[in-house]
């Protein structure tokens, strides 16, 4: 996945040398301990473009992302917490690596090579985001690096055979890289000792106006997809790939997110808004990065472009946020604030 962040207009270019580093940089510092006394680190990546990223080894979690607006003023544009203890208490996967399997598995069961596997049921009748202790709740090993082109951190974790019910020992590597031009690249790799299922992803909640700036319904969104994955009332795909044309899911041209989010539509009712996979156009097996979406905040001028090698991209409009999660600066993250 490649995320490109930019602000419309010049971002105070004359002041850039005083405010932003001349080359990419990476640094690591202690960030506390888990109840089992595992040490957690926080890695900060910096780009000459003015982008600054914090990644925590607990869950491989992006806790902060600073980006300049059209006037060069920076804001933190991801939802999250200031302290490890808040993440340990439980969050809706703010900024975490999701695995072994992102999204839902119906009934917590799947079959593979004539064998049946039973997983935890942790989302209504279904399995969600890797189970009770998914990759968002483990401590990853971290190796920060920096060079002229980018700063980054390589996170690694070994999931034991049978972990959360999944077959095979799985050795996982996830790299966060922040380029000199301000692109955020996330690379995933996994090697298994037995046939298994894997679907790794990043679970960031974005608000381009700033994490405490209210809801995102005035953001403008374009998705490069002409079909979306129809779901049932428990958000399990039915197998139908429905054309977006003539539906509230048509984002082929940039649309204000809130313009149709409460339309009288069964699919929107099932998700409480958008919580659907979009079939990205142009996918081929083994193909390279291609555009998936563009998100723009008119108020700040910030724009985020998403590119991926994968066939689908989930758009979730923060429908289950209800103000019970208090984030950085004591901000209550209410309905659709990311």
Residue 172 near residue 157 (C-beta atoms within 8 A): yes
Per residue in 151-164, pLDDT (tens digit) is: 999 999 999 999 99
Residue 200 half-sphere exposure toward CB, CA atoms < 13 A: 21
- What average pLDDT is seen over the chain? 93
Would you call 218 helix, strand, or coil by DSSP? coil
Tens-place pLDDT, residues 114-134: 999 999 999 999 999 999 999
Give the model confidence (pLDDT) of 42-54 as tens digits. Answer: 999 999 988 999 9
Q: Look at residue 7 in the predicted model and tell me its pLDDT.
A: 53
Mean pLDDT of 237-243: 97
DSSP 8-state code for residue 160: P
Average pLDDT over residues 27-48: 95
Q: Tell me what pLDDT residue 19 has.
A: 60
pLDDT beyond 60 at 11: no
3-state class of 14 per DSSP?
helix
Q: pLDDT above 70 covers what percent of the chain?
A: 95
The length of the chain, given as a count of residues: 338
Residue 15 pLDDT greater than 70, yes or no: no
Residue 20: pLDDT band with limits 50, 70, 90: low
**Ranges 201-210, 225-234, 280-289, 303-312: which has the least confidence:** 280-289
Predicted confidence (pLDDT) per residue in 172-188, tens digit: 999 999 999 889 999 99
Q: What is the pLDDT of residue 56?
A: 98
DSSP readout, 131-198? STT-GGGSBPEEEEEE-SSEEEEEEEEEEPTTGGG--S-EEEEEEEEEETTSEEEEEEEEEESS----
Q: Is the dihedral of CA 16, 19, 22, 26 positive or negative?
A: negative
Q: Which residues contact 160 (CB under 8 A, 6 or more apart)?
A: 169
Question: Burial, 105: exposed, middle or buried (Cβ in 10 Å; 0-12, 13-18, 19+)?
Answer: buried
Residue 287's pLDDT band (cuts 50, 70, 90):
confident
């Amino acid at each position: 996945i490649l995320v490109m962040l930019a602000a419309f207009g010049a971002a105070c270019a004359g002041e850039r040398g005083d405010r932003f580093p001349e080359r990419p940089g990476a640094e690591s510092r202690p960030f506390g301990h888990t109840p089992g006394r595992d040490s957690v680190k926080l890695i900060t990546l910096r780009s000459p473009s003015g982008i600054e990223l914090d990644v925590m080894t607990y869950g491989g979690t992006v806790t902060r992302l600073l980006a300049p607006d059209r006037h060069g003023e920076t804001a933190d544009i991801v939802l999250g917490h200031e302290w490890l203890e808040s993440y340990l208490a439980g969050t809706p996967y703010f900024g975490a690596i999701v695995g072994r399997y992102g999204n839902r598995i119906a009934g917590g069961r799947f079959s593979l090579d004539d064998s049946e596997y039973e997983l935890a049921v942790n989302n209504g009748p279904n399995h969600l985001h890797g189970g009770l202790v998914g990759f968002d709740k483990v401590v990853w090993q971290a190796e920060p690096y920096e060079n002229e082109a980018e700063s980054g951190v390589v996170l690694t974790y070994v999931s034991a055979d049978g972990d959360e019910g999944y077959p095979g020992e799985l050795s996982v590597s996830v790299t966060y890289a922040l380029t000199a031009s301000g692109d955020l690249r996330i690379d995933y790799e996994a090697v298994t000792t037995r046939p298994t299922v894997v679907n790794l992803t990043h679970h960031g909640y974005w608000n381009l106006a700033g994490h405490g700036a209210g809801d995102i319904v005035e953001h403008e969104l374009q998705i490069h997809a002409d079909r979306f994955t129809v779901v049932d009332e428990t958000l399990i795909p039915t197998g139908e790939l429905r054309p977006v044309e003539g539906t509230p899911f048509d984002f082929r041209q940039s649309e204000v997110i809130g313009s149709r989010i409460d339309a009288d539509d069964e699919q929107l009712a099932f998700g409480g808004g958008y919580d659907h996979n979009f079939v990205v156009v142009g996918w081929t097996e083994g193909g390279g990065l291609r555009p998936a979406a563009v998100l723009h905040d008119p108020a700040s001028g910030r724009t985020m472009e998403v590119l991926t090698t994968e066939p689908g991209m989930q758009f979730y409009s923060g429908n289950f946020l209800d103000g019970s999660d208090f984030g950085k600066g004591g901000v209550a993250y209410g309905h659709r604030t990311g």
